[in-house]
Structure 1
Amino acid sequence: MSVPTVSTAGLMPAGGAEPGDVAVIRSWKAPIGLAIFAALYGLLLLLAPRGGDTAFRLSTEADAIQLPELVVPVALTTWVCFVLLVLLAAASAYFVRSSARTPLWIIIVYLIVLVLGFLTWAASGATIPVVGLLAGTIALAVPLIYGALGGVIGERAGVVNIAIEGQLLAGAFSAAVVASITRQPLLGLIAAAVAGVLVAFVLAAFAIKYVVDQVIVGVVLNVLVIGLTSFLYSQVLQPNAALLNTPPRFDRIPIPLLSEIPVIGPVLFRQTIVVYLMYVAVALVYFGMFHTRWGLRLRAVGEHPQAADTVGIKVNATRFWNVLLAGAIAGIGGTVFTIGAAIPFNKEMTGGVGFIALAAVIFGQWDPIKATLAALLFGFASSLQNTLNIIGSPVPSEFMLMLPYLVTIFVVAGVVGKSRAPAADGKPYVKG
């Protein structure tokens, strides 16, 4: 990210400025946010101290290589984590003072230390299944990642894709029906992509062709898809559930050798084809967006459509086809809710995941890799909530339900800083 600069004229004492000097605008948002959350963590340790040990189980019974459990003393570990958090917040302040921004590695290490300290405190006297926690993170993050990729493509092209929720829901519905009838999950996957394209087609037609407000179109599409799928579920799927709403699921495909790597093997390489497609999609979207002609044109029509038009790029056609591509990717993400887990379709089963995916797009600063990491963060928060409920953590259940959203606030308030959308995002282009 480029560092914003301003002229030093009027900002320095007389005779102290040289021609061409610039003053760096420093943002103290990150160090202040890190310091606040370190203080809150320390307050938790003071008000609710816990003793004993916490165990971290690093292997499953199916693993060829069995790792011993890692047992740590709660009091010592939590306070060591607190000291590290304070030092990292101070390091962030030092870097902001000297170079105007906090390095990404400080944020990553801070999050790891904070999670380790909180887990150690919350699971005192119990055992954390690390592999299960991470596997749950992947499972919960997959639809978010597909939705976020669709959002990144659409917004990089200049079209705000509020309809991610509708595309995910349409994909889940179509995958369940087609896979139930044909007993072929792969055909359900294709149907989900087609359903996502159809929703995106309506968005593109109204937003690009008829220049309707993109946010309003997206909201209306979400309501339309929710109403349509709910009606079809009540009137068609429920009376014929055995034929139309008993989807098969994709089998897990362990990758030889890779699936036997301790910890990460069971998490990343004992997955279904939907997850493996996600890995490929993230890599292709990133490479294509920043290293191919397609990506250059995509970014050009989202940043400066007039300039793109002058060099011969068909702005509206480029936007239209990329919105359809985004819809296909988001539609595939909807398969996770049905054929991804052999779950029958139900009303509004996506539960607002599309809106969290849209938040991941913004947190990820419209970058495929960063948006994927943001989606994984949301997935981890939700998986952590489930894990702590299972082991009987003393943390109130109401707080656990809030946890994914508290993580969201943490990321916005203390980590991400200011995000700049593509310059022409949400702005229709009318030639001439």
Structure 2
Amino acid sequence: MSTAVVENPQGSVADEQVIVKHWKNPIIFSVIALIGLLLLGINAPANEVTFRLAEGITWAQIPALVLSARVFGWLAALVLLAIAAYSIVAMNSGKRVPFALTAVFWFFFITGLLVWAIGSARTSDVSLVSLLSGALALSIPMIFGSMGGLLCERSGIVNIAIEGQLLLGAFSAVLVGSITNNPWAGLLAAMVGGMLVSLLLAIFSIKYLVDQTIVGVVVNVLVSGLTGFLFTRVLQPDAANLNSAPKLPSFEIPVLSQIPVIGPVLFNQSVIVYLMYIVVALIWFGLNKTRWGLRTRAVGEHPKAADTLGVNVNRLRFSNVLLAGAVAGMGGAFFTLVSVSSFNSDMTAGQGYIALAALIFGRWRPMGALFASLLFGFSLQMQFMLSILGTSIPTELLAMLPYVVTILAVAGLVGRSRGPAAAGKPYIKG
């Protein structure tokens, strides 16, 4: 809804309510609903899908959830069609589709695809706890990366270098962790490695005013080449001493870990997952409830106004970029201190760029970036799980799944996103 000022035939000025109709979401809903009808309904497999819910629970016997892939597929398809039809009618009347209906639409589409894919596999018995636990674990680098990107971009610095921060963090973690035989030293080294990448980004983009996007891309290429060279010439010749770091410990939280389904998923994880909870909470609190957060948001939106109020814009940007590197470096430690105990060339496999997409998908908000990263982690876990189950979907298509989800997300499936107004714009005092 927008207001336009028009002049009537008598020459007076009046306000007229002009309804602006945006048909993008109804069109997307309709296309996906038709795909759902053809795939989930008409071509639904005849198998039953079993989701085991009791893993990790010792105090009760929880029966498995058994779904008919055909029945659930038709249910999901009909719900998708109904919401798509409602979105068309609502938009034609100048109304917006409620957020709750949008959430229901995507829930049935994702779960419908999940049931259809598992029902099409050779094995249709899946542990829901393992599925969700794996998705959470795989999302960790993207969550830390998106939080690092958030700290930069809310300060007005575009952080394309998340990939390099993750990669050097992973390399530093395995090198120091192997030498000291201490995973905590490796974690600290990962944070330092991420800060070194951020230091390059900050110096060139803030001090020398080089285009931030170009600096980020160049830094990523530099880190990729440097770590690849050091891996070949340093780590590989002495892998036993330099490329075999101990893993960070895992433990379960009593009582909380016994909550059905979500307990083992959220509270029986590696220590880096618990660190992620703390980091996300601190960043959310800092940005929204502290003077530092107010100044950071002001610098990212209107640096000149912040400067007139006594904020040192470039110093705040510099410190926030370094802090972002430390946060992203913790995500890099996941690869070599949690997932595996050794480093390989370019082992981050583009997850830094997916983290940047999660930041955009989450509309530059901590919780939005968190849930977007979880979605991408879930798509990665689906790729691995379906490969193990022996689905009829070609493996090449499964490998594309996380990146297809990324493209769809940044293409605007959640609506138009507007980043911080000053992001990417260097600030020159005076």
Range of TM-score over shorter length = over 0.9
Displacement of 1:31: 2.1
Match of 2:101 among 99, 106, 117: 106
Q: Secondary structure at the match of 1:427?
A: coil
1:261 aligns to 2:256 (yes or no): no
Aligned to 1:7: 4
Deviates more, 1:117-126 or 1:219-228: 117-126
Deviates more, 1:125-134 or 1:361-370: 125-134
Over residues 4-29 of structure 1, what are the superposed CA-to-partner deviations in whole Å (9 max), with x where a residue is unaligned? 7342537xx879x9845543533222
Over residues 409-430 of structure 1, what are the superposed CA-to-partner deviations in whole Å (9 max), with x where a residue is unaligned? 4434562111111111100011
AA matched with 2:183: P
Q: Is the 8 A contact 2:3 2:16 kept in 1?
A: no
Displacement of 1:343: 2.0
Displacement of 1:378: 0.6
Displacement of 1:281: 1.0
1:123 aligns to 2:118 (yes or no): yes
Aligned to 1:71: 66
Match of 1:316 among 311, 314, 317: 314
Over residues 304-345 of structure 1, what are the superposed CA-to-partner deviations in whole Å (9 max), with x where a residue is unaligned? 111111111111111111111111100111010001234201
Q: Is the 8 A contact 1:302 1:423 kept in 2?
A: yes
AA matched with 1:68: P
Question: What does 1:28-427 align with in structure 2 at a 5 Å threshold?
Answer: 28-45=23-40, 48-60=43-55, 63-96=58-91, 100-124=95-119, 126-413=124-411, 415-427=413-425
CA distance in 2: counterparts of 1:288 and 1:42, whole angstroms: 45
Over residues 354-378 of structure 1, what are the superposed CA-to-partner deviations in whole Å (9 max), with x where a residue is unaligned? 0110111111111111111111111
CA distance in 2: counterparts of 1:64 and 1:231, whole angstroms: 52
CA distance in 1: counterparts of 2:199 and 2:59, whole angstroms: 48
CA distance in 2: counterparts of 1:14 and 1:402, whole angstroms: 59
CA distance in 1: counterparts of 2:295 and 2:16, whole angstroms: 35
Query: Identity, % of aligned pairs?
Result: 50
Deviates more, 1:332-341 or 1:394-403: 394-403
AA matched with 1:164: I
AA matched with 1:348: D
AA matched with 1:110: F
Q: Is the 8 A contact 1:77 1:117 kept in 2?
A: yes
Over residues 65-94 of structure 1, what are the superposed CA-to-partner deviations in whole Å (9 max), with x where a residue is unaligned? 331111122222111111111122234345
CA distance in 1: counterparts of 2:363 and 2:92, whole angstroms: 23
Q: Secondary structure at the match of 2:337?
A: coil
Over residues 39-79 of structure 1, what are the superposed CA-to-partner deviations in whole Å (9 max), with x where a residue is unaligned? 11112246634213221111226644331111122222111
Q: Specify every segment of 5 or more residues in structure 2 that has no aligned partner in the other structure, as ranges.
A: none
Q: Is the 8 A contact 2:166 2:332 kept in 1?
A: yes
Q: Specify every segment of 5 or more residues in structure 1 that has no aligned partner in the other structure, as ranges.
A: none
Over residues 219-251 of structure 1, what are the superposed CA-to-partner deviations in whole Å (9 max), with x where a residue is unaligned? 111111111111111111112211111100012
Instruction: Report the CA distance shift for 1:100/1:426 in structure 2 as closer, same or farther (over 3 A).
Output: farther
Q: Is the 8 A contact 2:235 2:242 kept in 1?
A: yes
Q: CA RMSD in A?
A: 2.1
CA distance in 1: counterparts of 2:9 and 2:275, whole angstroms: 61
CA distance in 1: counterparts of 2:318 and 2:94, whole angstroms: 41
Displacement of 1:164: 0.4
AA matched with 2:420: P
Q: Is the 8 A contact 1:29 1:414 kept in 2?
A: no
Instruction: Report the CA distance shift for 1:45/1:342 in structure 2 as closer, same or farther (over 3 A).
Output: closer
Deviates more, 1:63-72 or 1:327-336: 63-72
AA matched with 2:107: I
AA matched with 1:57: R
AA matched with 1:388: L
Over residues 242-287 of structure 1, what are the superposed CA-to-partner deviations in whole Å (9 max), with x where a residue is unaligned? 1111100012110000111111111110111111011111111112
CA distance in 1: counterparts of 2:127 and 2:90, whole angstroms: 36
Deviates more, 1:24-33 or 1:337-346: 24-33
Q: Is the 8 A contact 1:25 1:100 kept in 2?
A: no
Instruction: Report the CA distance shift for 1:339/1:7 in structure 2 as closer, same or farther (over 3 A).
Output: same
Q: Secondary structure at the match of 1:256?
A: coil
User: What TM-score, normalized by structure 1, do the two folds share?
Assistant: 0.93
CA distance in 1: counterparts of 2:317 and 2:272, whole angstroms: 26
